[in-house]
Amino acid sequence: MSKKSIIFSAFLLVMLIASISSNAQKRKVLNLPTYDEDPYHFGFILGINHMLFSVQPVDNLPNIKWTTEQSPDVFGDSLFVYGVTSTPSPGFSVGILANLRLGQYTDMRLIPALSFGERMLNFTILRYRNGDTLFVDIQKSISSTIVEIPLEFRYKSRRLNNFRAYVLGGMKYSIDLASQKKGKGNTGNTTVKLNRNDFSLEAGAGIEFYTTYFKFGVEAKMGYGFRNLVLKEDNLYSGSIDQLRSKIFLLSFTFE
């Protein structure tokens, strides 16, 4: 998801909060009036995610010479990488939710989830062959099945009849079940391999509605990974990357 899309999504969320907040003043009947007084409660989430990478190429990348053996899918006398970028793809997430009440306006949440997604790494390669030069664009797809265990803290607004808004922040541990870290390393395999484990910082905001039988929420948050995920091998693709960190945007719907 591009920065403009994320900003637009956040803008829509803010406008929705403002609109509902003004309308909520007119409502009189409270649904689930004592729901938030319970010390803990449970629920589940369904979400749409956008996974991508924050890419930092190695220093002096365009001047590093690579051979065909280091990139079997591009044939040439010599190869030079001029750029590495990441493109997100949509995925989905499912999980369960455990909420612990810390105070009137604060909660702690544990949300084990399973996220499925795909990220693209785009390489711009200059190929020299028989005296001719040609720019070649190669795209590597990295599929991920990630077990996520985020621990979050929420600060909630005062309830306005059947509506409440909140902000959140926390940490997340994740393990990528589709990681190829343990795969056999060889120069013929041009897939960029990743480390399995990661730690992320998360921040976001949401709104929730009290219906007759359950509480429904809409939440948007970003996760920024701390760990360098690239697993170095003797090939052009992983060798061109110095730092590779995860970024995930999640739009989720909660049912509690």
Q: How many CB atoms lie within 10 A of CB 156?
A: 18
User: Taking every pair of C-alpha atoms in the chain, what is the biggest distance, in angstroms?
Assistant: 80
Residues 85-114: what's their mean pLDDT? 94
- pLDDT in the model for residue 25: 52
pLDDT of residue 33: 85
Token couple for 109:
């949440």
Cα atoms found within 13 Å of the Cα of residue 60, Cβ hemisphere only? 3
For the ranges 93-107, 165-179, 182-196, the lowest mean pLDDT is seen at 182-196
CATH fold for domain 3-255: Porin (2.40.160)
CA angle 156, 157, 160 (to 5 degrees): 130
C-alpha closest to that of 101 among 160, 42, 54, 48: 42
pLDDT bracket for residue 185 (50, 70, 90): very low
pTM of the model: 0.78
- How far apart are the C-alpha atoms of 43 and 46, rounded to whole Å? 11
